[in-house]
Amino acid sequence: MKYLREVRDSIKFFLVELELFAPVSAIRRGMMSVIPLVMAGSLALALRSLPIAPYQSFLKQAFGGALERLLGFVQNGTLDILSLLLTFAIAHAYALKKNESLKEKLSPLIVSITALSSFIIFRCAYSGESLITAFGNTTVAGGVVSALLASMLFVRLRRIQLFRIGVYSADAYAFYNSSLSSIFPAMTTIALFALSAVLYKEFLAPANLTGGWAGDMYAALLEKGPVLGSALLFVFFVHLMWCFGIHGNNVLEAVAQDLFVPALQVNQELVASGQLPTEIVTKTFLDTFVLMGGSGATLCLVAGILLFSKSRSERRLIKLSSLPLLLNVNELIIFGIPIVFNPVYFIPFTLLPVLLTATSFFAVSLGLVPHTVNHVEWTTPVFVSGYIATGSFRGVALQLFNIVLGTLCYLPFIRLARSATDKKISNALDKAYDMLENDPLRFTMHGQTETADFLRFLALDLENDLQTEKLRLHYQPQVDHDGRVFGVEALLRWTHENYGPVAPQLTVRLAESTGLIEKLGYWILNRACSDLARVRSTGRTDIVFSINVSPIQLEDEHFAQTLLALIEKHAVDPAALKIEITEESALANSARVIEQLKTLVQHGVRLAMDDFGMGHTSLKYMREYSFDTIKIDGSIVRGVTGDKKCADIIASIVSLGAAMSFSVVAEFVENEEQMKALQTLGCLQYQGYLFGKPVPFEEMFAAVQKEPARFGELP
């Protein structure tokens, strides 16, 4: 693990020095963007390839073959143009990333279409292929490289003053100006790609598979014959290509057909003549025990993630891709984890198949597993293929052994990836908390930043945990000067499965930003009413439950009726509930908010103003809303012992409370000195760690039955 961390740190230093974080981030973001399309294409391919004879017959005959054509169209529009989709997505992501640091913003759309055009020109110019056949998943690597090179070139050219067109009108749209200023950079980028394609075709590109590096590799493999050495090289190159987005299985299919398919035919002929098979390395051998239909190393990674990773996003991806994976269609995992252009998984993904080839070869050569004698379609599910290929359950056992071995080999790399992800998440959380505390107006879940991406995933986890009852309410005591507990405040607590406790203010903001606040608010009200009913059943009718309500909840025209229905459902006294709202809510002056609060007060529910003293609440609204309690903001309470201004503010609030007949509660009371200072000023009700931290309901429930002054251990 220490060595792997050093490798990771070295890679990070290299990326920083060469300013390559934007391209790397763009590749990952671009690949994530096309996941829905890869999912659609993978499902279509899986359904077209399902190895069940009656099903295939139905597919070809039903509605004159329309179903098969429909699946083919979906595949054509997704996987078969994957390189085009990735080129556009990566260029778009790169432009967005660069805009974070550029004063003069780029148009991501213009950058994307420039990169797309450049790639099409380059690919068609040197390959001579048509648009229909030139942009499948075998050319993904070219699309990725073209997207980055074209985007980077465009950005550089746009900075050159010579290439700018200075036509700016007060009436012109900003996008129009951006489009004009992009004319020469786009034209130059496209022209350079066209020239590069001509030069590449003329001097570098092999005419076909029999020339260049591909031809040399092809000849070397054929010369060795179907033996262990050629098999090791074959599987290594297949997976090496996949790491760069190239469909290695397709590229080297000619090698497999010329080298390994005849070996299977030899075995079949020997068995037909009553002799024992002799060829170990056949195409079925590789497909069944190493590639496992094309997904071997991926299946091991999936197993490792399910067993050892706590990442919900990865688990969601695996669930979505379960059907394609069952049929050995692994593109969704390759691009979703991702494995492509991911240095963390480069070593296991390329070397593990080599290890599995060796273990399988020796298992067959030692007679532990029969030779492969039957052809198996590549879409045949794992374990089924092991039995069909060998006619023995020992073939299944070898597949199971290889998956277990591969999963264990992936374990340290999964942990390394988890460590890197945790660090990113920690940074994203810190940024989110910083925005909430210092600049709440900047807090957003929109956009293409890593923080916004993380917050969207976190919001999904919040919704899931809310549905599965994983959120909790904790209760903090409120005491008077005699030490009597007269109330408790219900405080939301969310402990994320992977990230630990999430600050309540972030939880609420996520819910507000995603439209989840109504469900979350209902859950809090229902839980608090239920807990209140249990407390009152013990005879403690003197304790009031305070519940914080979001301004957005108050705008809901059904809020008051919902709360009153819950009060009736749990048979609790409305006067035992106190709704806490902020000054922001009170000053909203919304007719709907006023109506909701008045309805609640008319039915006996109490009102409290939270964080009082930090805003500019009008006395008119305090009287109009019939507030029962004012809670002094904690920042003022903390300064009561050392800041005369804070002491004067508190004295004024206490005097105001006496004049207007509402109680005053000081929040965040943390020591005896603060409490004594508050008593001197006439404030006689408190809440804070001096009297107890927020605790789960069961702990609070046990404590209030004993009528203590304090409950909950100090932190």
More confident site: 74 or 226? 74
pLDDT of residue 8 exceeding 60: no
Q: Report in angstroms the alpha-carbon separations of 174 from 171, 179, 423, 447, 502.
A: 9, 9, 38, 19, 40
Taken in order 215, 217, 223, 228, the sign of the CA dihedral is: negative
CA distance 613 to 652: 10
pLDDT of residue 528 exceeding 90: yes
Residues 540, 578 within the same domain: yes
At 586, the pLDDT band (50, 70, 90 cuts) reads low
For residue 636, give the amino acid letter: I
Q: What is the DSSP string of 336-381?
A: HTT-TT-GGGHHHHHHHHHHHHHHHHHHHHTTSSPPP-S---TTSP
Residues 189, 243 within the same domain: no
Tokens at 437, concatenated = 């505390």
Q: What is the mean pLDDT of residues 672-688?
A: 93
Exposed/middle/buried for residue 84 (C-beta within 10 Å: 0-12, 13-18, 19+)? buried
More confident site: 17 or 597? 597
Go through the chain and tell me how many residues it has: 715
pLDDT (0 to 100) of residue 623: 64
**Is residue 277 included in any domain, yes or no?**
yes
For residue 326, give the amino acid letter: L
Per residue in 556-569, pLDDT (tens digit) is 888 999 999 999 99
- Please give the backbone phi and psi of residue 689, each rounded to the nearest 5 degrees, phi first: -65, -20
- Indicate the number of domains in the chain: 3
CA distance 340 to 343: 9
Residues 673, 611 within the same domain: yes
399 neighbors 289 (Cβ within 8 angstroms) = yes
At 223, the pLDDT band (50, 70, 90 cuts) reads low
Residues 284, 315 within the same domain: yes
First to last CA, the chain: 35
pLDDT (0 to 100) of residue 14: 37
pLDDT of residue 667 exceeding 70: yes
pLDDT of residue 226 exceeding 70: no
**Is residue 368 included in any domain, yes or no?**
yes
pLDDT (0 to 100) of residue 286: 92
For residue 658, give the amino acid letter: A
Last residue of a domain, one of 156, 182, 203: 203
* Secondary structure E strands in 97-152: none
* Helix/strand/coil percent split, the chain, to 5: 65, 10, 25
Residues 228, 163 within the same domain: no
At 21, the pLDDT band (50, 70, 90 cuts) reads low
CA dihedral 198, 200, 206, 209 (to 10 degrees): -90
Residues 198, 218 within the same domain: no
Last residue of a domain, one of 400, 420, 440: 420
Residues 232, 109 within the same domain: no
296 neighbors 290 (Cβ within 8 angstroms) = yes
pLDDT of residue 504 exceeding 70: yes
Q: What is the mean pLDDT of residues 32-53?
A: 78
CA distance 640 to 613: 13
For residue 711, give the amino acid letter: F
Per residue in 135-168, pLDDT (tens digit) is 655 567 777 788 888 888 888 888 776 655 555 4
Q: What is the mean pLDDT of residues 487-492?
A: 94
pLDDT (0 to 100) of residue 568: 94
More confident site: 127 or 235? 235
Instruction: Give residue 12's Cα distance to chain centre.
Output: 22
Residues 258, 379 within the same domain: yes
Q: What is the DSSP string of 193-234?
A: HHHHHHHHHHHTS-SSTTSHHHHHHHHHHHHH-SSHHHHHHH
Q: Return all residues near 16 (Cβ < 8 A) that are at least 6 apart.
A: none
pLDDT (0 to 100) of residue 258: 81
Per residue in 202-213, pLDDT (tens digit) is 766 554 433 444
pLDDT (0 to 100) of residue 413: 92
454-457 contacts: CB < 8 A, separation 24 or more? Answer: 454/424, 454/425, 454/428, 454/429, 455/428, 455/510, 455/513, 457/312, 457/313
At 499, the pLDDT band (50, 70, 90 cuts) reads confident
pLDDT of residue 519 exceeding 80: yes
At 11, the pLDDT band (50, 70, 90 cuts) reads very low
Residues 514, 562 within the same domain: yes
pLDDT (0 to 100) of residue 358: 94
Per residue in 397-427, pLDDT (tens digit) is 999 999 999 999 999 999 888 887 778 788 8
Q: Return all residues near 667 (Cβ < 8 A) that are at least 6 apart.
A: 631, 632, 633, 634, 637, 687, 688
Q: Cα 442–445–449 angle (5° rounding)?
A: 85
pLDDT of residue 547 exceeding 80: yes
Q: Cα 232–411–497 angle (5° rounding)?
A: 145
Residues 416, 527 within the same domain: no
Residues 233, 350 within the same domain: yes
Residue 492, beta-bridge partner list? 473
Q: What is the mean pLDDT of residues 279-285?
A: 92
**Is residue 433 included in any domain, yes or no?**
no
**Is residue 431 included in any domain, yes or no?**
no
- Please give the backbone phi and psi of residue 51, each rounded to the nearest 5 degrees, phi first: -80, 60
**Is residue 308 included in any domain, yes or no?**
yes
**Is residue 712 included in any domain, yes or no?**
no
pLDDT of residue 356 exceeding 50: yes
Q: What is the mean pLDDT of residues 350-355?
A: 94
Residue 526, beta-bridge partner list? none
pLDDT (0 to 100) of residue 248: 76
**Is residue 58 included in any domain, yes or no?**
no
pLDDT (0 to 100) of residue 20: 47
Count of C-beta atoms within a 10 Å radius of residue 566: 18
244 neighbors 237 (Cβ within 8 angstroms) = no
Domain with 508, as residue range(s), is 470-704
pLDDT of residue 170 exceeding 70: no
pLDDT (0 to 100) of residue 29: 77
CA-based R_g, the chain, Å? 33
**Range from 121-135, 150-164, 596-610 that averages highest in pLDDT:** 596-610
Last residue of a domain, one of 168, 203, 238: 203
pLDDT of residue 493 exceeding 80: yes
**Is residue 585 included in any domain, yes or no?**
yes
Instruction: Give residue 240's Cα distance to chain centre.
Output: 26
Q: Report in angstroms the alpha-carbon separations of 225 from 102, 218, 231, 232, 269.
A: 56, 11, 9, 12, 19
Which has the minimum average pLDDT: 155-159, 160-164, 172-176, 692-696? Answer: 172-176
CA distance 4 to 414: 11
683 neighbors 631 (Cβ within 8 angstroms) = no
At 24, the pLDDT band (50, 70, 90 cuts) reads low
Residue 667 belongs to domain with CATH number: 3.20.20.450
282 neighbors 227 (Cβ within 8 angstroms) = no
Residues 197, 343 within the same domain: no
Q: What is the mean pLDDT of residues 124-133?
A: 64
CA distance 619 to 202: 83
- Please give the backbone phi and psi of residue 126, each rounded to the nearest 5 degrees, phi first: -90, -25
pLDDT (0 to 100) of residue 492: 95
pLDDT (0 to 100) of residue 713: 39
More confident site: 621 or 261? 261
Parallel, antiparallel, or unpaired: how do β-strands 500-502 and 577-582 relate?
A: unpaired
Which has the minimum average pLDDT: 394-403, 459-468, 472-481, 580-589? Answer: 580-589
Nearest to 451 by CA among 438, 433, 465: 433
Which has the minimum average pLDDT: 158-162, 242-246, 519-523? Answer: 158-162
pLDDT (0 to 100) of residue 220: 57
At 16, the pLDDT band (50, 70, 90 cuts) reads very low
What is the percentage of the chain residues whose pLDDT exceeds 70?
A: 83
pLDDT of residue 129 exceeding 70: no
pLDDT of residue 651 exceeding 80: yes
CA distance 31 to 484: 60
